[in-house]
Structure 1
């Protein structure tokens, strides 16, 4: 962990997930239902009243931070929160935008989609049934709808701002994610009853491995084919061809949001699954195989798994709005980028909660274990934006908003310093991100994914740098900060690998098994990356720099800023380890005097001047190569404590800035001199030493 003498400040709002009975009724700146279990919050069925609200971070802050306004504080403390504890109160609108207005189409394209609804002889739409009447405890907020009203209900729930969806729609997601370029319109058709039972479509070989099909039934049926046939028989090819894509919405649960909550979280073992969750065939066991682990309840296994193919996708009623955005990403041509969180051998998640095509699909109030609700108003209702790599591939970001660098060119240009804005906002004439091409390929040493769960697999083509802020659809990401990733040009997963600023096991309880045993998050759980973002300054609980020696690159997070309307941005830098550029590097630092405050701390403001000279060569990078990055160190007298809010800082050529150094007086001491050294990262020979006299 990075930090000076000041201890880490790190908030982790992470309760232990309780066993669920699911079917029962100055320079100092700071970044800023279904029937519920008897101990649940009735407004949030996934949230337990006895979850701890007071966290250790609230008790264990450094004494200096508690001492008062004149005591030093980290400039950018990491305040991450797991999705499990989030509520709709966490949503924060993007300043100056209203992407939810359905009357405003995408400036590049407004896609027209058909929402085709299908049910089954044994499974009507859950929202037509009485409240909490299914074995899964659904429906929750909407029930007893007439079948004829279901198409319009789901069309409006997904794409018309209203009370139930909190004003958030698929159209809004794509408009925000694309900066107004892509919009979505939906027309609804159905309901069509398919010819086979629901489990004949839900149980198929890739997930259930040939197990669990009741006698006399034909499992593995093609829902997409039968649904399309029913739709075409009703509207004809001419109407169908007017749509750009199709969402097939099937009655009932989806297996992705059901297998764990109605499997290992609810039952002690597969032999403990009761008949209510079993098949209609007494000769079969009450459990069945599923995708990521060996078993779940048969009822959970018999539901459809969302998927996309051939310009269409399949969802179910528990599929949150994010699922539709995720599957539409596939329709547009980008693949999945996630792992099996329970794989043996274990493998770390690829891009976690930060990316729609990874587990950012699960984002929303209540997190991953609340996705079984019908309608889908909790987890998976507010998915993350796409990361920079995928925005570039989808063509939903302006070229001018991405600073394109290359590893080789950096050796010639020298360090690049740039300000990057949060990805949820349009950057204007600023930047939304940086892409660094690894000329000649990834130089990382080989590693073995079979033995090293943190092995990224190698063969990456780029690095990307972007900023995430918890606003808009990113409101339900765990943190605000700088997101660094390695990426590939081809969709060969993992094609985005988030660089984790805190790679150690996050060591949090995921849920509690039926026998009361806490189940920790696996190494492969996507929430391990909740604290992955980089932060500016020391003592944040995260890191402010990252060195990839093998690829000869050094990344810095130098400063953080939030403007008057609330837009977050960071000053970041990247340099080559193989070349400092043609600039003449230099630095001078002046002395300072400081007085000890009642808290016992004194602040020295060291004037630093960049005496280097810029080159006269003009070019696209000239706006970003006119600064240098300096490393600062300080040493106080015996018994005195020194602390640096910034251990690295940038100063433009020919300009001056101040560097703060804090020192704390020991009991009985009168004064001291603090030695301060400022050294160019580009040229270590360019260094200056000064002192601060503390009275």
Structure 2
């Protein structure tokens, strides 16, 4: 489908507007940026922010994947903890459930349907829909069989207080051991035999909550100190402390800490929306890419809200502090898509979907230009799902200087990344709950590894942050009114990380890596008739510009359309005989200046790309300023990014 450059739309609108204002010599029409950064915080998102992918609903169970995945769902409760979903609406200590109660005998089937069948309760979103969308129908959850409910032989706390140093906080002084999986499986195997061989995975849904979704909200966010925890949130033994140790910080309420942490076995509480994330571990053997945001010295997140294997698994209405909701229809219910690296690992993308370049070859071929389609949809004809630039050549491949993460919280850690990736994020489908539209640039590792230094973590995606400065936003208000800021290690520091095209966007349109000898350009953006976004990007080696002989022509307009002067730029390069069309372009850096009084002139984009033998129009916008008027000369300057010695100017006088 034909794509329409945003700049072209602006030119047409301004020309039309100008024709209706013929009595004026000069318009004072205000022209905005072509690609403004519009970051929406996770806390402010609702279900109204969901934008469906045009023409297909991947959650439709009638669409069958090429690779199916079959799961058994086993529902269990405890002698001291009924299913939250069976209680009266809003009646439990945490304020759940959010819907009218379900009968205990129907719980397993309810959660089976909740996770696999589109409905009003789950807003039409399912774990099958997520994987189908990410894989474009390559992988999906084709069948979920429900078993139970069963009651486990031990109390909830006997399973929940066996992790993160919590053994000393039991009501009776016992030391819990072992995980619940063995007990869960023994119950349904006693009734049905060993059916595990019939399934690709067992999803164990247990009554109550994942500790990951309640430790903060019902700990340090609810109580000023551990001494302020009231009896109803404390240990049932009044002689015991009302707090308990937890994973990231020293304490939370006993009630929250007695819950279990969901893990990739797959074991999940009723509030868990991170089942898709755990399936990423279980079905594809991809690890976590997330840091510890709460412990000093701080370490920045790897990919944050932009990938489901990092804290992008927390995306959804209300953001990370809404992951306690039952059923899981808020934060973590709409995880981010997978970045290029992970989609390649999962075989969701082929080499035909990717433009693969290399650092060394770019020095020989000259710069490359490509169009990338939003990752939520299939790439348009002639476009790509992403661009990869291999860090090849002599060792070390990643030549970023080593720094100390204890001194630099923004350190990417051990410099052993293998390649850069570029992709486009648009807030549609599951990416609706990403915080921005734009171009995502990252360094990636082929193999997972720790990133070294203090508070090291497993890291294989390192997003290049267009705004590395502190986002300076409040995380939450304590009960006493004290504001707690998001740490520099909070994953939401990357909310404004995307690159944007054009000037005055609020973000950056280029990135220079002098150590790895690469320069990246975000040149322009386009939308097709359905509003799907794509970007034109460029990549240049800093060590060579190729064999093509660079030449171009810049021509001033003979007349103007009110407030727009259209200059013409023609690429007259002599081709170097390369087969790939991505190398048959040059990028030009533009600047505009004026001589005389009374007019202001501006361009909306400092970059332009033109294919060899082709020409484009460069709009220069001008408007009246206060004060005396005189003839004003508008001069446009263009410089070849491949050969900066090639520079041209063209001028037009506005009477």
Counterpart CA distance in 2 for 1:68 and 1:209 is: 70
Q: Is the 8 A contact 2:167 2:175 kept in 1?
A: no
Number of the residue aligned with 1:10 = none
Q: Following superposition of structure 1 onto structure 2, how do residues 86-125 of structure 1 map, counting pairs within 5 Å?
A: 86-107=45-66, 109-125=67-83
Deviations along 1:377-408, one digit per CA (max 9) or x if unpaired, are 11111111111100001111122111111111
TM-score, normalization: structure 2? 0.92
SS in 2 for 1:241: helix
Q: Relative to structure 2, which stretch is displaced further, 533-542 or 675-684?
A: 675-684
Counterpart CA distance in 1 for 2:279 and 2:216 is: 25
Q: Is the 8 A contact 1:142 1:375 kept in 2?
A: no
Deviations along 1:632-659, one digit per CA (max 9) or x if unpaired, are 1122126654422111110001111112
2:516 pairs with 1:551? yes
SS in 1 for 2:566: strand
Counterpart CA distance in 2 for 1:418 and 1:69 is: 36
Counterpart CA distance in 2 for 1:153 and 1:512 is: 35
C-alpha change, 1:218 and 1:196, in structure 2 (3 Å) is farther
Counterpart CA distance in 1 for 2:619 and 2:160 is: 62
Number of the residue aligned with 1:402 = 354
Number of the residue aligned with 2:250 = 294
Number of the residue aligned with 2:185 = 228
Number of the residue aligned with 1:581 = 546
Deviations along 1:55-97, one digit per CA (max 9) or x if unpaired, are xxxxxxxxxxxx9983221001111101111111111111121
Q: Quick one: which of 144, 152, 162 aligns to 2:119?
A: 162
Q: Following superposition of structure 1 onto structure 2, how do residues 90-239 of structure 1 map, counting pairs within 5 Å?
A: 90-107=49-66, 109-143=67-101, 145-184=102-141, 185-205=143-163, 207-237=164-194, 239=195
2:311 pairs with 1:359? yes
Q: Quick one: which of 465, 468, 473 aligns to 2:425?
A: 468
Q: Quick one: which of 506, 524, 536 aligns to 1:571?
A: 536
Q: How far off is 1:593 after superposition? A: 5.5
Number of the residue aligned with 1:274 = 230
Number of the residue aligned with 1:438 = 391
Number of the residue aligned with 1:514 = 479
C-alpha change, 1:196 and 1:218, in structure 2 (3 Å) is farther
2:602 pairs with 1:643? yes
Number of the residue aligned with 2:643 = 683
Q: Following superposition of structure 1 onto structure 2, how do residues 368-447 of structure 1 map, counting pairs within 5 Å?
A: 368-429=320-381, 430-439=383-392, 440=395, 441-447=397-403
Q: Is the 8 A contact 1:412 1:579 kept in 2?
A: yes
Number of the residue aligned with 1:20 = none
Q: Quick one: which of 497, 500, 503 aligns to 2:465?
A: 500
Q: Quick one: which of 187, 196, 200 aligns to 1:240?
A: 196
SS in 2 for 1:674: strand
Unaligned runs of 5+ in 2: 1-6, 12-25, 450-457
Deviations along 1:237-271, one digit per CA (max 9) or x if unpaired, are 2x221101111111101111101110111101111
Q: Is the 8 A contact 1:558 1:572 kept in 2?
A: yes
Counterpart CA distance in 2 for 1:285 and 1:581 is: 70
Number of the residue aligned with 2:444 = 487
Counterpart CA distance in 1 for 2:238 and 2:275 is: 36
Q: How far off is 1:216 after superposition? A: 4.5
Deviations along 1:285-344, one digit per CA (max 9) or x if unpaired, are 111111111111111111011111xxx311000002xx1110000012000001111120
Counterpart CA distance in 1 for 2:9 and 2:249 is: 49
Counterpart CA distance in 2 for 1:257 and 1:687 is: 58
SS in 2 for 1:200: helix
Counterpart CA distance in 2 for 1:393 and 1:187 is: 28
Structure 1 segments (4+ residues) deviating >4 Å: 593-597
Q: Is the 8 A contact 1:201 1:223 kept in 2?
A: yes
Q: Is the 8 A contact 1:468 1:482 kept in 2?
A: yes
SS in 2 for 1:188: strand
Counterpart CA distance in 2 for 1:362 and 1:473 is: 12
Q: Quick one: which of 600, 613, 621 aligns to 1:662?
A: 621
Q: Is the 8 A contact 2:168 2:175 kept in 1?
A: no
SS in 2 for 1:294: coil
SS in 1 for 2:363: helix
2:496 pairs with 1:531? yes
Q: Is the 8 A contact 1:326 1:357 kept in 2?
A: yes
Counterpart CA distance in 1 for 2:479 and 2:634 is: 58
Counterpart CA distance in 2 for 1:125 and 1:217 is: 25
Q: Is the 8 A contact 1:636 1:663 kept in 2?
A: no
2:79 pairs with 1:79? no
Number of the residue aligned with 2:270 = 317
Counterpart CA distance in 2 for 1:691 and 1:533 is: 35
Q: How many residue pairs end up in the alignment? A: 618
TM-score, normalization: structure 1? 0.86
C-alpha change, 1:173 and 1:69, in structure 2 (3 Å) is farther
Q: Is the 8 A contact 1:198 1:303 kept in 2?
A: yes
Counterpart CA distance in 2 for 1:69 and 1:176 is: 45
Counterpart CA distance in 2 for 1:283 and 1:325 is: 40
2:564 pairs with 1:612? no
Number of the residue aligned with 1:326 = 277
Q: Relative to structure 2, which stretch is displaced further, 287-296 or 213-222?
A: 213-222
Number of the residue aligned with 2:21 = none
